[in-house]
Amino acid sequence: MKINLKELAELLGGDLQGEGLAEMTGAAPASSAGPSEVCYLEDLSKKKLLDGTKAGCALLPRAAKEAELPYGGNRIYVDNPKWAFTILLRKIQLEKRPKAPWGIHPTAVVHTTARLGKYCHVGPFSVIEKDAVIGDFSFIGAQCYIGERVQVGANCHFYPQVMVREACVIGNQVILHPGVVIGADGFAYIFVNGRHEKIPQLGNVVIEDEVEIGAGTTVDRAMLEQTRIGAGTKIDNLVQIGHNVHIGRSCIIVAQAGIAGSSVLEDGVVLGGQVGLADHVRLGKGSMVAAQSGIMDDLPPGQVVFGSPARPRLEAMKILAIMGRLPEMYAFFKKMKAKFGDGQDK
């Protein structure tokens, strides 16, 4: 990539202060950026990060116009420096990432009844089963498995070694990372005559537009209806999503979280890493669960909780702080008990 600062300021809708003809070839954190690389400062409270940078240009918040900064180089003032930097990264990515080919690799096994859209790609050793549908411009990497009657929308990107079982439905612009398993059986048994008898899982998984799912994450198919992941939700690696779970729009689910069967996340819920949800709980719109917390009951909208079991954040923090005083409290308790007996002398 090559872009001069005048062009870059235009691309980012920013105000350039510096040499318009200076050419930039990359992006980097301030600490390691070189004279042809662009860095950014998210907000002025972190201005120390610019100290000593050799960056060729810094993307700065507009408020920086009046601020004193430990940096005298070229600068572009923008409304949202992190977003501006993201736009630059996307431009770099277009050239840096491997070019996605299109067409069906000769080694792929594609059933004659499968329907593939325009300019879509099926990589080596991938299997597309009977009656599957792949939308235009979608990319199915190497060694993927797309089951019978699966529907994949347009502009999806499935990395190698993704697995989608029969009858699941995937929207447009969905990204699935390696090792993702969509539509395996929900975990359901009934104990009869001394044995765990398997309950068939006849539903499917529906993934809406612009969902991204991280490496190794598993999303189980519903028993009868749908496990559903709402548009724009982003899921990290090694997450487990049980059968019949409904996840709303624009949720964030961090790595290794687990959601048991039939639970509901309303729109905009955030689950930290390693969070566990019991089955049949409902998390209200915009509620947030801190890492490693355990949720056994519904949460109202906007609630922020932590702990296992989770409590409202302030309460949990207070209790945690007091736990640090328990040794002192216990020592006092023993002395008071010696003094007052069991307290029953009243």
Return the residues of window 310-339 that contact a copy of itself according to CB under 8 A. 311, 315, 318-320, 322-327, 329-330, 332-333, 335-339
343 binds a copy of itself (CB under 8 A): yes
- Grouping H, G, I as helix, E, B as strand and the rest as coil, residue 337 is helix
With respect to a copy of itself, which residue has the nearer C-beta, 118 or 330? 330
Amino acid occupying residue 234: K
In the list 56, 276, 287, 299, the residue contacting a copy of itself (rule: CB under 8 A) is: 276
Q: Quote the least distance from Cβ 291 to a copy of itself, whole Å.
A: 6
Pairing of strands 181-184, 151-152: unpaired
In the list 225, 281, 284, 304, the residue contacting a copy of itself (rule: CB under 8 A) is: 225
Amino acid occupying residue 201: Q
Pairing of strands 189-192, 195-198: antiparallel
36 binds a copy of itself (CB under 8 A): no
In the list 247, 255, 271, 299, the residue contacting a copy of itself (rule: CB under 8 A) is: 255
With respect to a copy of itself, which residue has the nearer C-beta, 153 or 186? 186
Among the listed residues 226, 343, 217, 336, the one whose alpha carbon sits nearest the alpha carbon of residue 273:
217
With respect to a copy of itself, which residue has the nearer C-beta, 67 or 202? 202
Return the residues of window 109-128 that contact a copy of itself according to CB under 8 A. 109, 123-125, 127
45 binds a copy of itself (CB under 8 A): no
Pairing of strands 175-176, 139-140: unpaired
Is 243 catalytic? The answer is yes
260 binds a copy of itself (CB under 8 A): yes
With respect to a copy of itself, which residue has the nearer C-beta, 118 or 196? 196
Per-residue binding string, a copy of itself, 127-156, x by CB under 8 A, is x-xx----------xxx-x-xx--------
Strand partners of residue 205 = 227
In the list 10, 44, 250, 304, the residue contacting a copy of itself (rule: CB under 8 A) is: 250
In the list 24, 159, 269, 283, the residue contacting a copy of itself (rule: CB under 8 A) is: 159
Tokens at residue 346, please? 């009243």
Q: How far is CA 59 from CA 54, 102, 325, in A?
A: 14, 36, 46
For residues 198 and 183, what is the distance between their CA atoms, to the nearest angstrom?
Answer: 16
Of the candidate spans 43-51, 52-60, 65-73, 93-101, the one that interacts with a copy of itself by CB under 8 A turns out to be 93-101
For residues 70 and 60, what is the distance between their CA atoms, to the nearest angstrom?
Answer: 13
Q: Which DSSP string do the residues of 53-90 spell out, in sequence order?
A: ---SEEEEEGGGGGS--S--SEEEEES-HHHHHHHHHH
- Grouping H, G, I as helix, E, B as strand and the rest as coil, residue 123 is coil
Amino acid occupying residue 159: Y
Return the residues of window 197-216 that contact a copy of itself according to CB under 8 A. 197-200, 202, 210, 212, 214-216
Q: How many helices (H) and strands (E) does the chain have?
A: 4, 40
With respect to a copy of itself, which residue has the nearer C-beta, 1 or 17? 1
With respect to a copy of itself, which residue has the nearer C-beta, 96 or 115? 96
Could you say which of 157, 177, 243, 246 is catalytic? Answer: 243
Tokens at residue 256, please? 């290794």
Q: Quote the least distance from Cβ 20 to a copy of itself, whole Å.
A: 25
For residues 328 and 346, what is the distance between their CA atoms, to the nearest angstrom?
Answer: 25
**Active site amino acids:** 243
